[in-house]
Structure 1
């Protein structure tokens, strides 16, 4: 296959590129900023349909590994920012892919869409602009692709790993915390977790099969206490993780919402309802259970 990877310089994007090449496929790389290993500098949020068609011409498949993450706190209304970063580029890209006759596509999304589908009573897309953008990314992207271009959506939780200088976007503050003298405090709840290498494996398999499924990706499920403990151990600063009452978390989130509102800002994950997610065990049944500990060690190496 000949495959275009959009967002090829990111953590997961680099792993996808490496996995495709190791499997004997030809890869064209695109990313926002020109750098070593990037064939085309393309800002997906600004690229027109015609520019995407020129990029995709002569290829069989495409992977979208770019977008805006849930940490953004733009001015109100926030959804416009998340639509511009996550939905509109995918619609233009997959429209161009259909017009160029591509036969397979993969979009890297969020595991929140899995819970949106499984637990509609949580009203996730209604309450959280970021989650709404991921739900619409999948729905409108597939509509743009049409019936002859299957689009697999990988629903990703926390992703550990490293690719050259790239680490998970959220890793920096956590790294500083576990290496400090501050106590480690963890609330109830937890999250599914996976690795960049595992995501790349699932993405390449979906391309090779031309599958169009929703694919929750998980290797393990970690309570927040275990999550912090493993990170501290990997960084060489092991210590006990103390319990943080959920009520304290909810109060802190409400204060965060008040601060955002006073500045005319809106979070992608609304703090008023975020406690309902953070304090739950957002676990996913792994398709193939595995350990994330080696990837945690890559992400938070000992000094």
Structure 2
């Protein structure tokens, strides 16, 4: 197969390119910034369907692996801006892919859509504009692709690993915190986590099998305490991780919401409801069973001054 990887120089996209080539497929890359490994420098956020068609010509499939930052503060109302960044480019991409006759596709999504299916009573899309946009991204992207172009949506949690200087955008703050002398205090909940390599393996499997369903991806389920303990160990600052009372977590979240309101700003994840997510066990079942240790060591092998480039938590 010949596959176009959008975001092919990012953390996950780079691993997808590697796995494709290891399995004997051809991979071409599209990224916002020109570089030695970029075949097509183009900002997908502003690219039209007409611009995308010739880039997709001759390909069998396409992978959408660009990042979306749910914590970025924007002026109210945030939903139209997030939709423009998250939903619209995918619709244009898969419209062009359908018109060029592509037969498989993958979108790197978020595990929040998985948890919305499991827990509709949480009303996640009503509370969080980012999650609403992720749901619309999957639904409208598939509608644009049509029945002849199955699109697998990989529902991704926290992603560990490294591709050159590319790491997840939450790595820098956690790296500094783990190396500091500040107390390590965390909520009671937890999260699924996966390596960028595992995500790439699942993505290429989906392309080869022309899968078109939602695919949650997780290597391990970790409580926040387990996750921070392992990060502290990776940076050789092993120490006790304490528990934050739920009341304290909720108070801090409410204060964050009040601060945003005063500044007339919003983030994709609403701070007023963030405590509910932090205190929940956002686990994925089943997991792959792969150990995160190699990816965790690669993530924190050196101070990550370059952190913040690619692929945060889903």
> How high is the TM-score relative to the length of structure 2?
0.95
Q: Which residue of 2 aligns with 1:62?
A: 62
CA RMSD of aligned residues (A): 1.0
Q: Which residue of 2 aligns with 1:165?
A: 165
Q: Which residue of 1 aligns with 2:215?
A: 215
Q: Which residue of 1 aligns with 2:190?
A: 190
d(CA) in 2 for partners of 1:96 and 1:228?
Answer: 43
Within 5 Å, which residues of 2 pair with 1:245-284? 245-284=245-284
Q: CA deviation at 1:69?
A: 2.0
Determine if the alignment matches structure 1 residue 240 to structure 2 residue 233: no
Q: Which residue of 1 aligns with 2:111?
A: 111
Q: CA deviation at 1:263?
A: 0.8
Structure ranking higher on relative contact order (CA contacts 8 Å, 6+ apart): 2
Determine if the alignment matches structure 1 residue 125 to structure 2 residue 125: yes
d(CA) in 1 for partners of 2:25 and 2:248?
Answer: 51
More off after superposition, 137-146 vs 286-295? 286-295
d(CA) in 2 for partners of 1:288 and 1:171?
Answer: 22
d(CA) in 2 for partners of 1:302 and 1:33?
Answer: 25
d(CA) in 2 for partners of 1:58 and 1:301?
Answer: 40
Secondary structure of 1:77's counterpart equals coil
User: C-alpha deviations, 1:239-271, integer Å up to 9, x for none?
Assistant: 110111111111111111111111110110001
Q: CA deviation at 1:285?
A: 1.1
Q: CA deviation at 1:302?
A: 5.8
Alignment check: 8 A CA contact 1:236 1:302 kept: no
d(CA) in 2 for partners of 1:67 and 1:179?
Answer: 26
User: C-alpha deviations, 1:59-114, integer Å up to 9, x for none?
Assistant: 00000001422121111111112111110000000000000000000000000000
Alignment check: 8 A CA contact 1:56 1:100 kept: yes
Alignment check: 8 A CA contact 2:220 2:287 kept: no
Q: CA deviation at 1:288?
A: 2.2
Q: Which residue of 1 aligns with 2:79?
A: 79
User: C-alpha deviations, 1:28-47, integer Å up to 9, x for none?
Assistant: 10011112211111111100
d(CA) in 2 for partners of 1:263 and 1:67?
Answer: 25
d(CA) in 1 for partners of 2:67 and 2:169?
Answer: 12
Q: Which residue of 2 aligns with 1:10?
A: 10
Unaligned runs of 5+ in 1: none
Q: Which residue of 1 aligns with 2:155?
A: 155
Secondary structure of 1:28's counterpart equals strand
Secondary structure of 1:252's counterpart equals helix
Unaligned runs of 5+ in 2: 304-314
Secondary structure of 1:8's counterpart equals coil
Alignment check: 8 A CA contact 1:67 1:85 kept: no
How many residue pairs get aligned? The number is 303
Moved over 2 A (4+): none
Q: CA deviation at 1:54?
A: 1.3
d(CA) in 1 for partners of 2:302 and 2:58?
Answer: 45
Q: Which residue of 2 aligns with 1:44?
A: 44
Secondary structure of 1:4's counterpart equals strand
Alignment check: 8 A CA contact 1:220 1:286 kept: no
